[in-house]
Structure 1
Amino acid sequence: MTDPARILLVDDDEGSRLAMTQTLAPLGHRIVAAASGEQALKASLRQDFALVLLDVVMPGGMDGLQTAAHLKRLDQTKDIPILFFTGMPRDVDCAFTGFATGGADYLAKPVDPWELRAKVGRLVDQQTEHRQMRAELARLRHSDAELRAEIRALTDRLAQLEDHCRHTDPPAA
């Protein structure tokens, strides 16, 4: 069994954080809550997350779109999928900006529990698979480098043997 995924839940409303945490509990993931974009950035630099659930509208400080832009600029967090949610009426410009900022999906509040679980499950599974593929690619690159070094060593040894054979007196007939 794999370790539970860590999900960062960012919402300025404590009631929404609690409701979403309880909604996601059956999935078995570890939910880390943040009440602001600033808290989210700090948490994302301290821990490794498989997903960020991010409220678009957060008064004071950074809103969700600004937080996402910061997350996507950092090497450590740029590949984490972001699922935006908002209590505002569906705004095409806001949704477009969210996707342009690097959002993976978008939900409107009140969030349907089944839809939230389905989207979170899909995004976490995709992120887990993505990480496994990156680890396999790194392993293959390492193996490739080792094989190339071994080929170079064998080629050098063959050249030495050929050179030795050329400079050795031929046997008497």
Structure 2
Amino acid sequence: MTTLTIGQVAPDFALKNAQGETRTLKDYGGQWLVFYFYPKDNTPGCTTEALDFTTLAPEFAALGAVIVGVSPDSEKSHGRFIEKKELAIELLSDPDHQTAEAYGVWQLKKFMGKEYMGIVRSTFLIDPAGNIAALWSKVKVKDHAQAVLATLKGQLSGN
């Protein structure tokens, strides 16, 4: 398992968005990137998180930040999720979970006595130079988007 730390260069990726366009870390260069991993489209916690980030997207944009969610779901699933929930964020498909593994969020999970591999809800704040400025692991959805926004504001003010 990869463990990333603050100050480290963020791992590159090449993932498709809901329109089938390939995105890489360089596509977001020169701006702040809120890069968050979530388990599955259209599930309660993941929907709440996506809606919270969508609500705050204008504030993030005003600070020079873009929000991108990543899950193993297909591009078509992402497209339906975006349309159904009117999301204003980009979602990337990581079906083989290579990017999740590179970021250390593809881990052994337990649910109702069963063990399986899956996404541990995590967020990485990547600075305009491509370095990890902040990270959150095992995220609790409630107030998370606001916490990320507050951290970004702190980074920009030098705190």
- Look at both structures and tell me which one has the larger radius of gyration over its CA atoms: 1
TM range (shorter): 0.3 to 0.5
Structure showing the higher strand proportion among its residues: 2
| TM-score normalised per structure 1 | 0.35
Bigger helix fraction: 1
Larger relative contact order (Cα-Cα within 8 Å, sequence gap ≥ 6): 2
TM-score (norm: length of structure 2): 0.37
